Amino acid sequence: MLHVSRLAAVLLAAAAPLALAQDANLGRNLAATCANCHGTAGRAQGDMKPLAGMAAEKSLAMLADFKSGAQPASIMHQIVKGYTDAQLKAIADYFAAQPAK
Amino acid sequence: MKHIELSRRHILGAGAALAATGLAGCAGMGGGGPSIGKVVVVGGGFAGTTAAKYLRMWGGNVDVTLVERGDAFVSCPISNLVLGGHKQMTDITVPYSGLDKHGVKRVKGEVTAIDAQAKRVRLADGTQLPYDRVVVAPGIDFMPEQIGGLQAALDSGQVLHSWKAGPQTVALRKQLTDMADGGVVAVSIPKVPYRCPPGPYERACMIAGYLKTAKPKSKLLVLDANPEIQSKKALFEKAFADHYKGILEYRPNAELKEVAGGGKVAKLEFEDVRADVLNVIPPQRAGDLARTAGLVNINNRWAGVNWLTMESTAVPGVHVLGDATFPAPAMPKSGHMANQHAKVAAAAIIQLLKGEAVNTAPVVMNTCYSFVTARDVVHVASVHQYDAADKTFKAVPGSGGVSAAANQVEGRYALAWAQNIWADMLA
């Protein structure tokens, strides 16, 4: 652990630390897996639910209900189980930060 | 988090400074700094268009050129509805011009070679496009040589594949509408792997539905080289029985060996089947360009890739996307998956151009809707996480699945899926 935190300190000190740059894109990359149906950056068209600008707590509650089965779904109950809770959090945070239009 | 914001601001500030001193890249780059590299994307299908758009959207100052030979994108998904008479070609055609606002440069032309040493893409008209990295998304091409007489029957137009949407879709629809009532239609399905596993069975439903309404004395024979339906099996079996009984006959293990009789006879191992309309979905391999560029290195058919970057395992600096790739386990050849490949590649290419480490935990997912009637739809979905130990994507156990039953709610979602994925690629 000491080694790791020393490394982290070194990275934090660097101008453009690689590990952080990667983390910065994590939500973006994961959320892009939703865009096929929910639109680029969550700006959906037609009969699909837009996700851009949705409060993270709201999306996470919805996703949790899909996962538990509390909220019946045609397909989302199957898709949501492919992502870890941390990944869902990153996705929800990303969409929350996107402008709705 | 604060550190990231600071470093972002720092980068933006640096870009603005460069722009002010006239050192920024060409106008319209929109990235606020000099180009970090040139990427040429070859192929304007689900994968290529998505890669081009996302490279610009995420990379900002990446110089992106899309080379495509066609005038507009024509979607294979939903094209079976054109065969059934429920949609028109204009409904499945999307212009490439939507990519202009993202700063994607478009070149219409045919790529004949990729010179990986000189890092140049060569076009049929002699144009050469230099690149730092090239994305090859050629889709599939056919292996008609595996079936006697097929090449000649395809060349003459007697037999249509209609497995690339466009004029072939229109021509097959015309063969169906021209056929007299009481005629026989046969659809030949190749052994897996082929593009869009459920596609042939959706096509069977759409053709049978048309016959049921317009030509009720006619028959549809589904000649499947595989031992069983390859996707959504129980759902398609139910649709065949519920909606198309007496019209649609499904025959497993019915591999097409030869096309004869002026394209009207399908010779199987033990019998000859006569058809008024014979639609042959031929065996498939990676698109021609993958072969000429030396990217085909698995089973003499498909292009192997590093799943973290989609970079070819045969030729460095070349990224291969979509149906041309040798898939990870349980990964379908689909437009949806091709779009997902493109996003993994776009993120990785930007990082590689910047000299950064690539994302070590990419995720891709697939959703495929199939129409079993004009309104009732069934889906299959899967989520695939990268497995670092095995260096491949693996479907997540317990995730994904199929519809409980065909339903009209998913009929609406299927059309909305198409609308949204076309926009994700091209708007």
Question: What pLDDT sits at residue B63?
Answer: 98
Is the same domain home to B300 and B269? no
Q: What is the C-alpha to C-alpha distance for residues B173 and A9, in angstroms, rounded to an integer?
A: 65
- Tokens of residue B402, six digits: 């199929």
pLDDT(A9) > 60: no
Residues of B in contact with A16 (CB under 8 A): 7, 11
CB-CB contact of B160 with B276 (8 Å): no
B16 shares contact with chain A (CB less than 8 Å):
no
Under-50 pLDDT residues of chain B: 1-31
Contacts of B139 (CB under 8 A, 6+ apart): B43, B45, B164, B195, B287, B322, B323, B324
Distance from CA of B158 to the nearest CA of A (A): 37
B388 shares contact with chain A (CB less than 8 Å):
no
A33 shares contact with chain B (CB less than 8 Å):
yes
* C-beta atoms of A47 and B412 within 8 A: yes
Considering only the beta carbons, identify the residue of A17, A40, A83 that sits closest to B424: A40
Last residue of a domain, one of B240, B265, B282: B282
Residues of A in contact with B396 (CB under 8 A): 81-83
Regarding the domain delimited by A24-96, which CATH topology (the fold level of the hierarchy) does it fall under? Cytochrome Bc1 Complex; Chain D, domain 2 (1.10.760)
Q: What is the C-alpha to C-alpha distance for residues B336 and B344, in angstroms, rounded to an integer?
A: 13
- Tokens of residue B211, six digits: 């016959």
Beta strands in B120-182 (DSSP E): 120-123, 128-130, 133-136, 140-142
Is the same domain home to B149 and B93? no
Residue B23 lies in a domain: no
Considering only the beta carbons, identify the residue of B400, B412, B420 that sits closest to A37: B420
Mind listing the pLDDT tens digit for each residue in B283-341?
999 999 999 999 999 999 999 999 999 999 999 999 999 999 999 999 999 999 999 99
Q: What SS3 state is found at B240?
A: helix
Residue B50 lies in a domain: yes
Residue B413 lies in a domain: no
CB-CB contact of B392 with B39 (8 Å): no
* C-beta atoms of A74 and B407 within 8 A: yes
Residue B250 lies in a domain: yes
Give the CA distances from residue B395 to residues B232, B345, B362, in Å, rounded to whole numbers and listed in that order. 17, 19, 12
Helices B199-214/B167-178 angle, 10° precision:
30
DSSP, res B371 = E
Considering only the beta carbons, identify the residue of B365, B398, B410 that sits closest to A33: B365
* Average pLDDT of chain A, as a whole number: 85
Residue B369 lies in a domain: no
B398 shares contact with chain A (CB less than 8 Å):
yes
Is the same domain home to B67 and B79? yes
Name the strand (E) or helix (H) holding B381: strand B377-387
Residue B399 lies in a domain: no
A8 shares contact with chain B (CB less than 8 Å):
no
Q: Of chain A residues 48-67, which have a CB less than 8 A from chain B?
A: 48
Beta strands in B148-198 (DSSP E): 184-189
A1 shares contact with chain B (CB less than 8 Å):
no
Residue B290's closest CA among B242, B342, B325? Answer: B325
Residue B350's closest CA among A34, A30, A22, A33? Answer: A22
Residue B395 lies in a domain: no
Mind listing the pLDDT tens digit for each residue in B162-199?
999 999 999 999 999 999 999 999 999 999 999 999 99
* C-beta atoms of A87 and B363 within 8 A: yes
Q: What is the C-alpha to C-alpha distance for residues A8 and A23, in angstroms, rounded to an integer?
A: 13
A47 shares contact with chain B (CB less than 8 Å):
yes
pLDDT(A19) > 50: no
Is the same domain home to B278 and B218? yes
Q: What is the C-alpha to C-alpha distance for residues B91 and B328, in angstroms, rounded to an integer?
A: 32
- Tokens of residue B249, six digits: 């006959």
A2 shares contact with chain B (CB less than 8 Å):
no
Q: What is the C-alpha to C-alpha distance for residues A8 and A19, in angstroms, rounded to an integer?
A: 9
Please state whether the peptide bond connecting residue B144 to the residue before it is cis, i.e. omega within 30 degrees of 0: no
Mind listing the pLDDT tens digit for each residue in A72-89?
999 999 999 999 999 999
Last residue of a domain, one of B257, B282, B307: B282
Four-point Cα dihedral B205, B302, B139, B251, nearest 10: -10
Asked which of A17-31, A50-64, B20-34 is least confident by mean pLDDT, the reply is B20-34
Question: What pLDDT sits at residue A23?
Answer: 66
Is the same domain home to B59 and B85? yes
Is the same domain home to B174 and B55? no
A82 shares contact with chain B (CB less than 8 Å):
yes
Is the same domain home to B347 and B266? no
Q: What range does the domain containing B170 cover?
A: 144-282
Is the same domain home to B273 and B333? no
Mind listing the pLDDT tens digit for each residue in A33-53?
999 999 999 999 998 999 999
Is the same domain home to B43 and B74? yes
Is the same domain home to B293 and B278? no
Domain count, chain B: 2
Last residue of a domain, one of B258, B282, B306: B282
Considering only the beta carbons, identify the residue of A30, A39, A78 that sits closest to B423: A39
Residue B82 lies in a domain: yes
Is the same domain home to B236 and B315? no
* C-beta atoms of B416 and A39 within 8 A: no
A76 shares contact with chain B (CB less than 8 Å):
no
Considering only the beta carbons, identify the residue of A17, A25, A83 that sits closest to B359: A25
CATH number of the domain that B65 lies in? 3.50.50.60
Is the same domain home to B150 and B112? no
